[in-house]
Amino acid sequence: MRASPPVSAAPLAAKWRKLAERRCAEKGERLTPARLAVYAEMLTRDRPVSAYELIGLLEERQKRKIAPLTVYRHLDFLIRTGLVHRLQSAQTYLPCEHPDHAHESQFLLCSSCGRVDEVESRGVRKMLSRIADERGFRPEQAVVEVKGLCGACAAAEPA
Ligand SMILES: [Zn+2]
Ligand SMILES: [Zn+2]
């Protein structure tokens, strides 16, 4: 067996590394250096990235070509373990703000600066399941993504 070359990765704070290790242990998944490198790269950004941007960032850091399929596989893994969320409307990815527990989030997407705020509202979840219930609908997954301006951008906008 050939040893895989060392992966150069963005620095990862101990807090996130521990969270990632714990999530993987719980899910029986293996946290490889390559998977961790993708996660670390995403955490260097303060906004969601597309798979395309992510490939660019990783290639720049690792100084080599990376097959898109490999990155998509790592993203699948990160989503599966709850470390990363996929924004359906923008087709971008962002690290979860609280990956220590399973949850269904809602997202506030700023169309000016691109930042995304992840919120976890029990009220929204309850309301949606009540609406579905009233119609005899059996929900599988709810995607709540609100587009608009974040507080900072709204304040900077001329009235
Ligand atoms: Zn989350
Ligand atoms: Zn904004």
Can you give the residue ranges of every domain in the chain? 14-95, 106-156
Closest CA to 42 of 57, 31, 27: 57
Distance, in Å, from the CA atom of 117 to the CA atom of 145, rounded to the nearest integer, reads: 10
**Over residues 79-86, mean pLDDT:** 95
Band (pLDDT 50/70/90 cuts) for residue 3 is low
Give me the pLDDT at residue 102, please. 80
Q: 147 C-alpha vs ligand 1 centroid, how far in Å?
A: 18
3-state secondary structure 29-47: CCCCHHHHHHHHHHHCCCC
Give me the pLDDT at residue 59, please. 96
Considering only residues 93 and 101, tell me which one the structure prediction assigns the higher pLDDT: 93
* Nearest-ligand number for the alpha carbon of 147: 2
Q: How far is CA 14 from CA 3, 11, 19, 23, 40, in A?
A: 26, 9, 9, 14, 11
Q: 14 C-alpha vs ligand 2 centroid, how far in Å?
A: 28
* Nearest-ligand number for the alpha carbon of 99: 1
For the domain covering 106-156, report its CATH number: 3.30.1490.190
Q: 98 C-alpha vs ligand 1 centroid, how far in Å?
A: 5
* Nearest-ligand number for the alpha carbon of 98: 1
For the domain covering 14-95, report its CATH number: 1.10.10.10
What is the three-class DSSP state of 94?
strand
Give me the pLDDT at residue 141, please. 87
140-153 pLDDT tens trace = 989 999 999 999 99
Band (pLDDT 50/70/90 cuts) for residue 7 is confident
What mean pLDDT, rounded, does the chain reach?
93
CA atoms in the 13 A half-sphere facing the CB of 157: 12
**Over residues 18-36, mean pLDDT:** 94
Tell me, yes or no, if the pTM score tops 0.85.
Answer: yes
Distance, in Å, from the CA atom of 61 to the CA atom of 8, rounded to the nearest integer, reads: 7
**Over residues 148-159, mean pLDDT:** 91
Q: 151 C-alpha vs ligand 1 centroid, how far in Å?
A: 21
Give me the pLDDT at residue 4, please. 60
What is the three-class DSSP state of 52?
helix
Non-local CB neighbours of 150 within 8 Å, separated by 6+ positions: 108, 110, 112, 113, 115, 117
Percent of the chain with pLDDT over 90: 85
**Over residues 21-49, mean pLDDT:** 95
Q: 138 C-alpha vs ligand 1 centroid, how far in Å?
A: 23
Band (pLDDT 50/70/90 cuts) for residue 8 is confident
102-117 pLDDT tens trace = 888 999 999 999 999 9
Report the chain's terminal Cα–Cα distance, integer Å.
64
